[in-house]
Amino acid sequence: MTSYTDEEGRTLRTAVFGAMVLVSTAEPGALDEESHAGIRAMAAFPPAVREVLGAARPELPAGSAADVERGVLAALRRSVAILAARDPGDAEAFRATVVAVCEEVASADGRVGAAEDAVVDRIRAAVGAA
């Protein structure tokens, strides 16, 4: 199993959990349902990524909502680069799974609002998913 440095692990956790937070807070909704949907969808990450995601508490960037979003999107881009350097297959799985997790969070309450959809689009762009 691939091991990641502490910094790489923090980046991956910030990216994944931060993406879920961005979607979940984009519009008022059922935060509990959204959280559970995101956690369930995370099972699709490659095993090494799941391991690092569960290794420590995630840390979100500080500052305004815009600062947090910029930091999370940057962490998503860095995460793809980290994974691509180690295993291109894991990088591709990461892209698809991040988008799937975000879509699950967005639709957890039975509908996807325009703000949630816009955030998912920005996340999709950050990870380079089609």
Tens of pLDDT, residue by residue over 6-50, are 999 999 999 999 999 999 888 876 666 767 777 777 888 888 888
Cβ atoms of residues 9 and 50 within 8 Å = no
What is the pLDDT at residue 110? 81
Tokens 């349902």 sit on residue: 33
Average pLDDT over residues 65-78: 96
What is the pLDDT at residue 130? 59
- Return all residues near 100 (Cβ < 8 A) that are at least 6 apart: 41, 44
Give dist(CA 95, CA 88) in Å, integer. Answer: 11
CA atoms within 13 A on the CB side of 20: 27
Give dist(CA 78, CA 86) in Å, integer. Answer: 13
Give the residue among 55, 23, 9, 33 at the shortest CA–CA distance from 122. 23
Cβ atoms of residues 9 and 49 within 8 Å = no
Q: Between residues 109 and 84, which one has the greater pLDDT?
A: 84
Give the residue among 52, 74, 53, 79 at the shortest CA–CA distance from 63. 74
What is the pLDDT at residue 96? 93
pTM more than 0.85: yes
Average pLDDT over residues 87-100: 92
Is pLDDT above 80 for 86?
A: yes
Cβ atoms of residues 96 and 129 within 8 Å = yes
What is the pLDDT at residue 35? 73
